[in-house]
A and B are shown apart, each in its own frame.
Chain A
Amino acid sequence: MTRATAVRPAPVTAPATAAGTPGRPGRRLAWRRSTTPLLLVLGWELAARSGLLAAEKLPAPSTVLATGWRLTRDGTLLTHLLDSLTRAGVGLLIGGGLAVLLGALAGLLRIGDDLVDPPVQMARMLPHLGLVPLLIIWVGIGESLKISLVALGAFFPLYFNTYAGIRDIDERLVEAARTCGLGALARLRHVVLPGALPALFLGLRLAIGAAWLSLVVGEQVNAQTGIGFLMMEAREFSQTDVVVLGLLVYALLGLLSDVAIRIVERRTLTWRRGLRAS
């Protein structure tokens, strides 16, 4: 691994990468790090099969996977998954869009900071999941409740990171851009946006995490569709395998979205790799 990196035709980054590898045992010892999780799953499987774990309390992983396969084949899982994804997507779009807009307003303009930031700072002290009873009164128990919850969850992390990302931009760079004849809009495009982008990505990752959490809670209130509904319904019929399957799907959704964002982030922020290498 170390050697392969060192002979890569990138003279500037290669030595730093090679030097960094011994400090990160993650890749070389991947097999060692996956030992315990694999043993745990194996132990779970054996305990379930031998009857040590009652099937109605916790079914074997193989049973859960089989149930997953069955529900995938008859289309049930996909229907509910799509409904959940739609809620998460719409909520994220509304909450995230509003967060970026207001965060930029507060970060860029003094008047925006004075008018927007205080109420947001006050509102963030409220645990948004605790708002469920109030939200039920306001928007009912239908789709709008789930979407509102997701939007609320996504709003705060993205707002704060947008705000901080803009505020943390080096004033001297903005000044240098001014001496190069860049107007306010051009400075926004060439200095502020790329400068705030790392913080925006961090905010987005946190927002997506919060969105999934809000979705889980929201879907337990009178849902007719969605992964949460699937789980609540299964609980009533003591189908523990479906409940566990739902949990697994939620976890996978969180994992996949995080990986996706990280890939986009790495592609977009190529310049930071150069920064780390030096």
Chain B
Amino acid sequence: MASRTSGQLNGPLLTATGVRRRFGATTVLTGVDLRIAPGEVVALLGGSGSGKSTLLRVLAGLDDEATGEITLRGRAAVVFQEHRLLPWKRVADNVALGLSGPDMAERVARALAEVGLAERHRAWPAELSGGQAQRVAVARALVREPDLLLLDEPFGALDALTRLRMQGLLRRLRAEHGFAALLVTHDVEEALLLADRLLVLEAGVIAEELPVDLGPTRSPDDPAFGALRRRLLDRLGVPAL
């Protein structure tokens, strides 16, 4: 298992060194080095099967068989591609899962209000739309006041319009709370809209690192945005039409 430390040193929020993971004969991660600074949003791109989600699971501490060293200073919370809400708990109880303390109800209500679902706290997960359920999942992560949000293709299962709204929500929440995030995605546009830095995972290592200097208000219509997108698509092996 990857050794995990929660150090108190200054510097990066998350440091991963030499992360390796094999599934039988195939090695998916052959030695990933990764750093995330406090408040930084990093997008992790890569073709399907490149090990993006595997890496995120390792960083989330969900993979007991990976090796390497991971240091996280602070709390992490995860949002998965599927909402993964417990169907037998009402929305508020899902958000409150694993929390304790006297101000719990208040914190849950605040988190739900932040994702715009304050009035749905008594609903069952099955009564929510896909976008609403995913917002509850975001609230469930947010209520833990994470320093690092690990997002595994969090909007991948949503329709295009809902996805745009969710991206806006994430940007707003990040501006308010200042958490760092690792966003696993296969959507180059989404990565360019949300991230400060891009990583491309290829052949089990971080093959390329790319800062995104597009400023706080980004639009796909910006020529610089288009140039960066083209460059990334080339890197990922998608030919121009």
Contacts and interface: CB of A to CB of B under 8 A. Distances in A.
Contacts of B86: 173, 176-177, 190-191, 194
A190 B89 contact: yes
Contact of A275 (B77, B84, B124): B124
Given A173-B86, A175-B62, A176-B80, A271 B98 contact: no
Interface stretch (A113-121, A179-187, A231-239): A179-187
Interface string A1-43: 0000000000011000000000000000000000000000000
B23 interface: no
B124 A176 contact: no
A274 interface: yes
Contacts of A197: 88
A190 to B, nearest CB: 7
A177 B97 contact: yes
Given A190-B86, A194-B86, A271-B87, A172 B126 contact: no
A127 to B, nearest CB: 36
B1 to A, nearest CB: 14
B82 interface: yes
B127 A12 contact: yes
Nearest to B81: A172
Contact of B60 (A177, A179, A195): A179
A123 interface: no
A274 B127 contact: yes
Interface residues of A, number: 26
Interface in B128-142: 140
A266 interface: no
Interface in B95-152: 97-98, 123-127, 140, 144
A178 interface: yes
A50 interface: no
B204 to A, nearest CB: 23
A278 B126 contact: yes
Interface of B is mostly: loop
A277 interface: yes
Contacts of B89: 190, 194, 271
A173 B123 contact: no
B62 A277 contact: no
B82 A275 contact: no
B78 interface: yes
Contacts of A278: 126-127
Given A275-B126, A277-B126, A278-B126, A176 B84 contact: yes
Contact of B126 (A173, A178, A195, A274): A274
A19 B127 CA distance: 16
Contacts of A175: 62, 84
Interface in B48-88: 60-62, 77-78, 80, 82, 84-88
A179 B87 contact: no
Nearest to A177: B97
A177 B124 contact: no
A179 B126 contact: no
A182 B88 contact: no
Contacts of A13: 127
16 contacts: A12-B127, A172-B80, A175-B84, A176-B84, A177-B98, A178-B62, A180-B144, A182-B97, A190-B86, A190-B89, A194-B86, A271-B126, A274-B124, A274-B127, A277-B127, A278-B126
Interface of A: 12-13, 172-173, 175-182, 186, 190-191, 194-195, 197, 269-272, 274-275, 277-278
Interface of B: 60-62, 77-78, 80, 82, 84-90, 97-98, 123-127, 140, 144
Given A172-B80, A274-B127, 19 more contacts: A12-B123, A12-B127, A176-B85, A177-B97, A179-B61, A181-B98, A182-B97, A194-B86, A197-B88, A269-B88, A270-B124, A271-B87, A271-B89, A271-B124, A274-B124, A274-B125, A275-B126, A277-B127, A278-B126
